[in-house]
């Protein structure tokens, strides 16, 4: 079993130690600032561990919380009855024969870069939470077992690059969506040490910064070091916490915080204001748009997996959850606000990654937790429908410009090549260069494969 | 209290005697056939009819009501009359042949167990039942699940009711809709129903049955018999039974479960083939969809069995490895102070989990202050408590609990606690109303109002919301369905929200249940009062909550309760409040007791603590029942339950694990450390540093604007603030609940990098440490020595003196001061920072 960073104390993957931290302070009189020193170290590192290494694939998962309607997005059915096909017409994309809904004109210009999976479905209870679990972990949570997010699995197996966390959730984890179940954004049974770093701030805020990333001026290196040492002294005084998962989580949080604080590279990665205004505008001045831009910055800096949650909840917010009645969204609101927001940010992300040569080494996945009922309901909306929906996958080794699977005439059920969330996860794992059947130490240390042995990746994508 | 302890001591020594029988057996290592174990066959009696002509049987080795091994596979089976029944060894079941009585004998080694069989009615044709045969089959096959044809809109043009809750409509749909082509009475095997399910024609749901298997045969026979419809004379199911109920297995053992349905007319049938099986804890034991249990690793798992709308639970206990003599002694000699310990001990013994020793007085003091008052003991309070030993005063811990229960901080902290539950905030209430609401809750805590009386008063509050603050409950939840859902979670621990639009997909609640329940609140009327923020809450004689799909008003009915009598003399709210707080309400007392337990023990007996559904079994069902009964018996006095918990040995154990109980996270073999709640932590920072936290701004309801407030003068503690919208980055980062929805999930006690960054670099703690008037500055001004200051800091923060090596390290640091006027002070600030961010401080342990 490969455990890259199991049970180590304060750990610096690049060989950094706390002595270096102090050492940097000593360098300052020589005109080398901490930031400069870090830049040197970071450059050294990147030469060894490139984010453009073709075998070392990154991933940006855009979670379209609420569950986009397959009919109104990427699986239009112009020949279906009016109450099914909905108000929008299909438009051509830059790939002949592939049509998507007219409310995504910018996305349509990049169909060569992504593949549409039109036959994904699940059979669990039709609440948001189950879909969140399955699309982020490949599994439904049963029997009190919480499975790890794919990004946490990646972090567990490969570790972080340098002092950057392996998996970052932007801007916040998915909150209340009605089912009162976990959403699958954590490391689950792998343990708290592999949980993602959660940004907890809105990248679209004009004063955006990672809260408290920088020490106040009056706390120099000497004091910071002294504080850590004294804290270790106090913590060493009692053994009451040996069996406590919560205490281990606290320790890990402090270690991670210290790593982040000490890293110029990490600070630079989050400095969204260093991006040109034009590019920021291109992504769209929305929480989601700027989150996508931040995701690119993070991947560029060395983060392996970024999960961008488009929304935090489906209540009293305009989302993809188009039931049609309050506190939810209706179809027109979705078309007016949600679709352009996605269209702008997603197309910008693909373009930007492509321009920087990062798309080859970075998968981009845009997925919801389920589809919507084909027949428009009396409130003018569509309800939950896990029977079939559509997702977009791009980048890394995945071949774009194609459609995988079809739904039936009413976009009700898969017609050909049905795809399960587990197969989606297997595909992501394969894309990341992992063996989907390699085993993790599961609950009670029972070996558990990343996905079940009979589940295969979607080979057409490779 | 003393008399009580004596009584319990006697009772618990009895418990030791009883259990040591089991222990002797368990000490043998793997659970193997042993003296004292008896062979037992399940069920003990079977009645077979043409409708239910077969019944599965298991034979087990059992001791004291617990199955140690399933012997079904190796038993030798004989029937007394092969005219009456035959034994099918492959499927381990009895099959009826002709009317009469017979016995089935299972032989294992020298032991035998006998089952009585009665076969009747074989001289008439079978009466296939839509409700008892067809619907359970469709449910088992998943046809009417929420993801398939049970979805609100159905699937592929076929819409069945979710898990068969509406037999009449399902029958209509199957026999009449789609031009009647779903069933073919002339050539039953050509029925579309069967061809789809077997995927002889394309089926979006794939192949659900194989031609010729039991489910297929049953559907075929029903169609061949003319597809009889729902029979109104058929009586409903009244009880579900799973056999055996208790299993005590070594890892990697297998055992089979049977499920029997009891109908009102007295018939009892084997419904194992139709039942659903789910394990509540798969790491301990898993179960397949035929009811075969496989134990995995030490622990307890509930195997939740569902059939129709009912749920039954079998408990699988997998003990830890045999104990060393020392641990064995620890387990047997574990102190037992009251009824809590009797129940906790029983599980520990079954599992072979030795408890950690009792915690020290200092640890107990800190723990109980934090849990009851939400604050740390002062050094003076600590010295006062610690100066007498337990030998001098054996009941000193009980007396401390009694004293703390009467302290003013108790009122602050528990008013705060219940304000979470009742969603006190200016998000939806104007400030004056919020204060009135808070004061009502605070009065209940201060007066120790019995929980039932307080809840009754709240739910029937009328008049001005400013005068009678409880009425704000109705101002907060204006909508009938919001009111119904909030009430169900708050007082019963039920989440019923899903049933608003369709039958609950995870639980038994139907849409009818929901709207009959909601209709109890349909006649609450709100009117604006004369003053600003004033709302008059009253009952009006009319008003109905209409079922949205059926368009009718259902007779008001509490969940699982009897409907409102037509001639009920008072309001609907009054009827509900009476039902809710009646002594025999099965949920009300449990819901609050479980919340209290979680508060003190770190984990609910049912977890999450507000999800008390039948399919989410408690870890200690008897203890939950016993505590609920205690609450009712003691006039709903919450302090009585608090005393029981706080005075138990389970609460007073050390948090340091023993090697043999380190893996335990739910059986209370030790105290589970947990992070202090956000507000308690912030107050503790203010107390230790001597710098109060300012609360000067309130967020707008949308969270996007701040406005200044003067409601909270400097010195107000975080736990004294009623409004969840008072701005505080610290409180948010440390998981303060938003009080938007009634859900204990709103409060987070998990550590995060955000918090660690804030403690390192953020203003909250650093500002207090730098404050020119903080405790360090004062002591320095008073000319206290380094040693004295170090000593005091430790007592203030950790309720203990520094250990010798800590004292030496700190003194050494202070002895070699770097240059600079603030050097000494900065070192003391940094020491304080280290103390206040240590695990020992951040956790209640």
* Best residue of A230, A389, A406 to probe chain B, by most B CBs closer than 10 Å: A230
* Residues contacting B447, CB < 8 A, separation 6+: none
Token digits of residue B244:
């055996």
- Say whether residue B807 is in contact with chain A using an 8 A CB cutoff: no
**DSSP secondary-structure letter at A365?**
E
Question: Could you tell me which chain A residue has the CA closest to the CA of B660?
Answer: A243
Which of the two residues, A43 and B799, has the higher pLDDT score? B799
Sorted by where each starts, the structural domains of chain B and their CATH numbers stand as: 36-126 (2.60.40.10), 130-224 (no CATH), 450-582 (no CATH), 772-845 (no CATH)
Counts of helices then strands in chain A (DSSP H, E): 14, 16
Contact (CB<8Å) B803/A254: no
C-alpha B224 chain-centroid distance = 47
B579 HSE (CA, 13 A, CB side): 22
The three-point CA angle B42-B48-B53 to 5° equals 105
Least CB–CB distance from B673: residue in A231, A241, A375: A241
Structural domain boundaries in chain A: 53-210+270-461
Q: Give the CA dihedral B422, B428, B429, B434, nearest 10 degrees.
A: 40
Q: Could you say which residues from 294 to 313 on chain B have a Cβ atom under 8 Å away from some Cβ of chain A?
A: 296-297, 301
Token digits of residue A100:
């998507």
Q: Please, are residues A104 and A342 in contact by the beta-carbon 8 Å criterion? A: yes
Q: Please, are residues B460 and B757 in contact by the beta-carbon 8 Å criterion? A: no
Distance from B834 to chain A by nearest Cα, in Å?
A: 4
Cα B109 from Cα B236, distance rounded (Å): 42
Least CB–CB distance from B766: residue in A143, A216, A385: A216
Question: Could you tell me which chain A residue has the CA closest to the CA of B281?
Answer: A143
pLDDT band at B34 (very low <50, low <70, confident <90, very high): low
Q: What pLDDT score was predicted for residue A53?
A: 63
Cα A145 from Cα B281, distance rounded (Å): 7
Distance from B358 to chain A by nearest Cα, in Å?
A: 13
Cβ count near B121 (within 10 Å): 16
**DSSP secondary-structure letter at B598?**
H
Does pLDDT of B820 surpass 60?
yes
Contact (CB<8Å) B751/A249: yes
Contact (CB<8Å) A198/B675: no
Cα B739 from Cα B741, distance rounded (Å): 6
- Say whether residue A210 is in contact with chain B using an 8 A CB cutoff: yes
Cα B442 from Cα B784, distance rounded (Å): 41
Q: What pLDDT score was predicted for residue A52?
A: 57
CB-CB neighbors (< 8 A) of A245 in chain B: 665
What backbone phi and psi angles, to 5 degrees, belong to A81? -55, 155
Residue A207, sorted as left (phi over 0), alpha (psi -120 to 50) or beta, turns out to be alpha
Three-state secondary-structure class, residue B427: coil
Which H helix or E strand runs over B580? Answer: helix B572-581
Token digits of residue B569:
């003399």
Q: Please, are residues A406 and A119 in contact by the beta-carbon 8 Å criterion? A: yes
Cα B12 from Cα B648, distance rounded (Å): 13
Contact (CB<8Å) B757/A211: yes
**Please, which contacts does A443-449 make with residues 24 or more away whose CB atoms are closer than 8 Å?**
A443/A145, A443/A189, A443/B282, A443/B283, A444/B283, A444/B296, A444/B297, A446/B283, A446/B296, A446/B297
- Digit-coded pLDDT (tens) for B378-418: 999 999 999 988 888 889 999 999 999 999 999 999 999 99
Question: Could you tell me which chain A residue has the CA closest to the CA of B669?
Answer: A243
Distance from A69 to chain B by nearest Cα, in Å?
A: 15
Least CB–CB distance from A223: residue in B733, B749, B826: B826
Beta strands at B299-307 and B276-279: parallel, antiparallel or unpaired: antiparallel
Q: What pLDDT score was predicted for residue B503?
A: 65
Cα four-point dihedral sign B770, B772, B774, B778: positive
Distance from B281 to chain A by nearest Cα, in Å?
A: 5
Contact (CB<8Å) A237/B766: no
Q: What is the arithmetic mean of pLDDT over B26-32?
A: 39
pLDDT band at B23 (very low <50, low <70, confident <90, very high): very low
Q: Please, are residues B150 and B162 in contact by the beta-carbon 8 Å criterion? A: yes
Sequential DSSP letters for B292-323: EEEE-SSEEEEEEEEETTEEEEEEEEEPPSPP
Q: Is B243 exposed, middle or buried (0-12, 13-18, 19+ CB in 10 A)?
A: buried
Least CB–CB distance from B754: residue in A200, A216, A218: A200
- Say whether residue A412 is in contact with chain B using an 8 A CB cutoff: yes
* Best residue of A167, A238, A416, A441 to probe chain B, by most B CBs closer than 10 Å: A238
Q: Please, are residues B87 and B56 in contact by the beta-carbon 8 Å criterion? A: no
Cα A305 from Cα A429, distance rounded (Å): 12
* Cα distances (Å, whole numbers) of residue B153 to A87, A386, B144, B148: 20, 12, 12, 10
Contact (CB<8Å) A212/B758: yes
CB-CB neighbors (< 8 A) of B764 in chain A: none
Q: What is the arithmetic mean of pLDDT over B734-750?
A: 85
Q: What is the arithmetic mean of pLDDT over B436-457?
A: 98
Count chain A–chain B contacts defined by CB atoms under 8 A: 218
Cα B654 from Cα B669, distance rounded (Å): 9
Least CB–CB distance from B753: residue in A126, A197, A242: A197
- Closest by Cα among A118, A111, A185, A189 to A151: A185
- Say whether residue B806 is in contact with chain A using an 8 A CB cutoff: yes
Q: What pLDDT score was predicted for residue A37?
A: 40
Beta strands at A389-395 and A362-367: parallel, antiparallel or unpaired: antiparallel
Cα B275 from Cα B388, distance rounded (Å): 60
Q: Please, are residues A157 and A449 in contact by the beta-carbon 8 Å criterion? A: no
* Best residue of B203, B751, B824, B840 to probe chain A, by most A CBs closer than 10 Å: B751
- Closest by Cα among B516, B498, B518, B515 to B507: B498
Mean pLDDT of chain B: 91
- Closest by Cα among B187, B211, B218 to B197: B211
Q: What pLDDT score was predicted for residue B35?
A: 61
- Say whether residue A383 is in contact with chain B using an 8 A CB cutoff: yes
CB-CB neighbors (< 8 A) of A192 in chain B: 750-751
Q: What pLDDT score was predicted for residue B337?
A: 96
Q: Is B437 exposed, middle or buried (0-12, 13-18, 19+ CB in 10 A)?
A: buried
Answer yes or no: CATH 3.40.50.720 is held by domain A53-210+270-461: no
- Digit-coded pLDDT (tens) for B266-295: 999 999 999 999 998 999 999 999 999 999
CB-CB neighbors (< 8 A) of B747 in chain A: none
- Digit-coded pLDDT (tens) for B576-614: 999 999 999 999 999 999 999 999 999 999 998 888 988
Three-state SS annotation for B567-578: CCCCCHHHHHHH
pLDDT band at B505 (very low <50, low <70, confident <90, very high): low
Three-state secondary-structure class, residue B808: helix
Distance from B479 to chain A by nearest Cα, in Å?
A: 13
- Digit-coded pLDDT (tens) for B335-371: 999 999 999 999 999 999 999 999 999 999 999 999 9
CB-CB neighbors (< 8 A) of B148 in chain A: 123
For A361-459, list the strands marked E by DSSP: 362-367, 371-372, 384-385, 389-395, 402-404, 406-407, 414-416, 439-441, 447-449
The three-point CA angle A228-A233-A238 to 5° equals 130
CB-CB neighbors (< 8 A) of B741 in chain A: 176
Q: What pLDDT score was predicted for residue A443?
A: 79
Three-state secondary-structure class, residue B471: helix
Token digits of residue B475:
């101002």
Contact (CB<8Å) B834/A230: yes
- Say whether residue B756 is in contact with chain A using an 8 A CB cutoff: yes
Does pLDDT of B623 surpass 70?
yes
Contact (CB<8Å) B837/A226: no
Residues of chain A with confidence (pLDDT) below 70: 1-54
- Digit-coded pLDDT (tens) for B49-78: 999 999 999 999 999 999 999 999 999 999
- Say whether residue B219 is in contact with chain A using an 8 A CB cutoff: no
Task: Quote the percentage of chain B above a pLDDT of 90.
Answer: 76
Beta strands at B85-88 and B285-287: parallel, antiparallel or unpaired: unpaired
* Residues contacting B303, CB < 8 A, separation 6+: B242, B257, B277, B278, B279, B280, B285, B287, B293, B313, B314, B315, B316
CB-CB neighbors (< 8 A) of A145 in chain B: 282-283
Instruction: Give B79's strand partners.
Output: B104
Q: What pLDDT score was predicted for residue B132?
A: 92
Q: Please, are residues A384 and A126 in contact by the beta-carbon 8 Å criterion? A: yes
- Closest by Cα among A319, A274, A307 to A167: A307
- Say whether residue B751 is in contact with chain A using an 8 A CB cutoff: yes
């Amino acid at each position: 079993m490969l455990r890259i960073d199991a049970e180590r104390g304060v750990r610096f993957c690049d060989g950094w130690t706390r002595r270096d931290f102090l050492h940097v302070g000593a360098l300052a009189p020589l005109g080398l600032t901490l930031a400069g020193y870090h830049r040197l170290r970071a450059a050294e590192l990147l030469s060894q561990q490139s984010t453009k290494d073709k075998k070392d694939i990154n991933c940006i998962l855009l979670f379209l919380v609420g569950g986009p309607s397959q009919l109104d997005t990427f699986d239009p059915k112009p020949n279906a009855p009016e109450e099914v096909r909905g108000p929008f017409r299909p438009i051509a994309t830059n790939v002949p024969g592939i049509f998507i809904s007219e409310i995504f004109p910018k996305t349509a210009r990049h169909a060569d870069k992504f593949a549409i999976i039109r036959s994904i479905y699940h059979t669990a209870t039709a609440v948001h939470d189950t879909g969140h679990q399955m699309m982020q972990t490949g599994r439904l949570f049963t029997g009190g077992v919480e499975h790890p997010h794919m990004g946490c699995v990646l972090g567990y197996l490969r570790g972080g690059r340098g002092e950057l966390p392996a998996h970052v959730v932007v801007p916040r984890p998915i909150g209340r969506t009605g089912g009162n179940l976990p959403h699958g954004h954590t490391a689950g049974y792998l343990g708290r040490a592999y949980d993602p770093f959660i940004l907890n701030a809105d990248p679209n805020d004009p004063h955006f910064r990672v809260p408290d990333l920088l020490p106040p001026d009056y706390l120099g290196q000497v004091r910071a070091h002294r504080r850590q040492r004294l804290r270790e002294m106090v913590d060493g005084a009692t053994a009451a916490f040996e069996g406590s998962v919560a205490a281990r989580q606290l320790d890990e949080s402090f270690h991670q915080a210290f790593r982040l604080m000490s890293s110029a590279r990490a600070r630079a990665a989050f400095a969204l204001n260093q991006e040109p205004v034009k590019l920021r505008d291109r992504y769209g001045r929305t929480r989601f748009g700027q989150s996508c831009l931040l995701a690119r910055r993070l991947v560029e800096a060395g983060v392996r997996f970024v999960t961008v949650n488009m929304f935090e909840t489906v209540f009293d917010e305009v989302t993809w959850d188009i039931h049609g009645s309050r506190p939810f969204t209706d179809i027109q609101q979705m078309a007016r606000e949600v679709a352009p927001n996605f269209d702008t940010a997603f197309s910008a992300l693909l373009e930007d990654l492509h321009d920087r040569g990062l798309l080859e080494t970075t998968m981009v996945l845009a997925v919801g937790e389920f589809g919507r009922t084909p027949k428009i309901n009396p409130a003018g909306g569509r309800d939950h429908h896990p029977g079939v929906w559509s997702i977009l996958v791009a980048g890394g080794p995945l071949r774009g410009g194609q459609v995988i699977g079809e739904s039936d005439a009413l976009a009700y059920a898969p017609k050909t090549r049905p795809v399960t969330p587990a197969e989606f996860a297997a595909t992501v794992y394969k894309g990341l260069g992992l063996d989907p059947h390699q085993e993790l130490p599961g609950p009670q240390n029972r070996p558990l494969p990343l996905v079940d042995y009979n589940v295969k990746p979607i080979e057409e994508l490779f | 209290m003393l008399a009580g302890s004596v009584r319990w001591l006697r009772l618990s020594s009895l418990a030791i005697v009883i259990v040591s029988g089991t222990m002797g057996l368990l000490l043998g290592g793997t659970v193997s056939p042993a003296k004292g174990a008896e062979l037992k066959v399940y069920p003990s009696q079977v009645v077979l009819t043409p409708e239910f002509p077969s019944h599965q049987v298991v034979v087990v080795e059992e001791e004291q009501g617990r199955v140690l091994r399933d012997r079904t596979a190796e038993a030798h089976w004989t029937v007394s009359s092969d005219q009456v029944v035959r034994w099918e060894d492959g499927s381990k079941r009895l099959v009826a042949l002709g009317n009469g009585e017979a016995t089935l004998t299972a032989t294992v080694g020298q032991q035998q167990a006998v089952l009585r069989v009665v076969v009747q009615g074989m001289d008439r044709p079978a009466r296939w039942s839509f409700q008892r045969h067809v619907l359970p089959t469709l449910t088992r096959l998943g046809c009417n699940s929420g993801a398939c044809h049970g979805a609100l809109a159905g699937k592929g043009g076929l819409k069945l009711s979710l898990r068969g809750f509406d037999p009449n409509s399902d029958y209509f749909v199957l026999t009449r809709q789609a031009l009647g082509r779903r069933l073919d009475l002339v050539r039953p095997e050509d029925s579309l129903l069967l061809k789809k399910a077997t995927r002889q024609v394309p089926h979006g749901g794939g192949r659900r049955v194989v031609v010729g298997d039991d489910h297929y045969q049953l559907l075929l026979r029903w169609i061949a018999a003319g597809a009889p419809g729902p029979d109104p004379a058929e009586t409903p199911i009244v009880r579900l039974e799973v056999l055996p109920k208790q299993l005590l297995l070594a890892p990697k053992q297998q055992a089979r479960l049977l499920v029997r349905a009891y109908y009102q007319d007295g018939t009892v049938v084997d419904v194992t083939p139709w039942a659903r099986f789910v394990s509540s804890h798969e790491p301990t034991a898993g179960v397949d969809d035929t009811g075969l249990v496989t134990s995995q690793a030490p622990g307890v798992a509930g195997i939740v069995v569902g059939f129709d709308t009912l749920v039954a639970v079998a408990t699988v206990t997998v003990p830890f490895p045999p104990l060393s003599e020392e641990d064995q002694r620890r387990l047997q000699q574990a102190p037992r102070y009251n009824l809590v310990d009797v129940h906790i001990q029983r599980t520990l013994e079954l599992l072979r989990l030795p408890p950690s020793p009792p915690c020290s007085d200092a640890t107990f003091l800190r723990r109980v202050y934090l849990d009851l008052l939400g604050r740390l003991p002062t050094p003076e309070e600590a010295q006062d408590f610690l100066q007498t030993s337990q030998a001098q005063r054996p009941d000193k811990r009980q007396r401390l609990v009694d004293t703390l229960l009467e302290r003013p901080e108790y009122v602050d902290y528990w008013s705060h606690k219940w304000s979470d539950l009742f969603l006190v905030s200016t998000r939806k209430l104007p400030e004056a109303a919020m204060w009135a609401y808070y004061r009502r809750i605070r009065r209940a805590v201060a007066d120790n109002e019995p929980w039932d009386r307080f809840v009754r008063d709240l739910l029937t509050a009328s008049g001005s919301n400013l005068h009678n603050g409880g009425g704000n409950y109705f101002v907060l939840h204006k909508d009938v369905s919001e009111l119904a859902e909030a009430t169900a979670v708050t007082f019963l621990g039920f989440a019923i929200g899903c049933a608003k639009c369709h039958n609950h997909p995870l639980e038994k609640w139907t849409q009818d249940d929901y709207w009959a329940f909601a209709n109890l609140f349909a006649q609450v009327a709100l009117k604006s009062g004369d003053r600003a923020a004033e709302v008059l809450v009253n009952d009006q004689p009319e008003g109905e909550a209409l079922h949205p799909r059926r368009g009718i008003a259902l007779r008001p009915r509490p969940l699982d309760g009897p409907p409102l009598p037509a001639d009920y003399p008072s309001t609907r709210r009054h009827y509900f409040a009476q039902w809710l707080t009646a002594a025999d309400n099965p949920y009300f007392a449990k819901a609050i007791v479980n919340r209290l337990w979680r508060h003190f023990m770190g984990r609910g007996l049912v977890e999450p603590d507000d999800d008390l559904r039948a399919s989410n079994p408690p870890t200690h069902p008897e203890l939950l029942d016993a505590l609920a009964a205690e609450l009712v018996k003691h006039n709903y006095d919450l302090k009585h339950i608090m005393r029981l918990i706080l005075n138990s040995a389970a609460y007073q154990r050390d948090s340091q694990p023993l090697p043999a109980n380190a893996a335990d996270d739910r059986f209370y073999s030790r105290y589970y450390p947990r992070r202090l709640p956000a507000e308690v932590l912030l107050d503790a920072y203010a107390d230790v540093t001597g710098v109060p936290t300012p609360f000067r701004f309130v967020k707008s309801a949308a969270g996007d604007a701040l406005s200044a407030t003067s409601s909270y003068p400097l010195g107000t503690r975080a736990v004294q603030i009623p409004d969840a919208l008072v701005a505080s980055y610290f409180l948010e980062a440390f998981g303060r609940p938003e009080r938007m929805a009634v859900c204990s999930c709103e409060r987070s006690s998990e550590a995060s990098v955000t918090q660690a960054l804030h403690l390192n670099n953020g203003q909250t703690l650093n500002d207090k440490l730098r404050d020119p008037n903080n405790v360090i500055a004062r002591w320095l001004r008073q000319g206290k020595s380094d040693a004295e200051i170090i000593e005091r800091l430790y007592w203030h923060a950790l309720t203990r003196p520094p250990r010798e090596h800590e004292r030496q390290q700190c003194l050494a640091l202070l002895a070699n001061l770097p240059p600079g006027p603030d050097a000494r002070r900065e070192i003391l600030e940094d020491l304080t920072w280290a103390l206040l961010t240590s695990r020992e401080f951040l956790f209640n342990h």
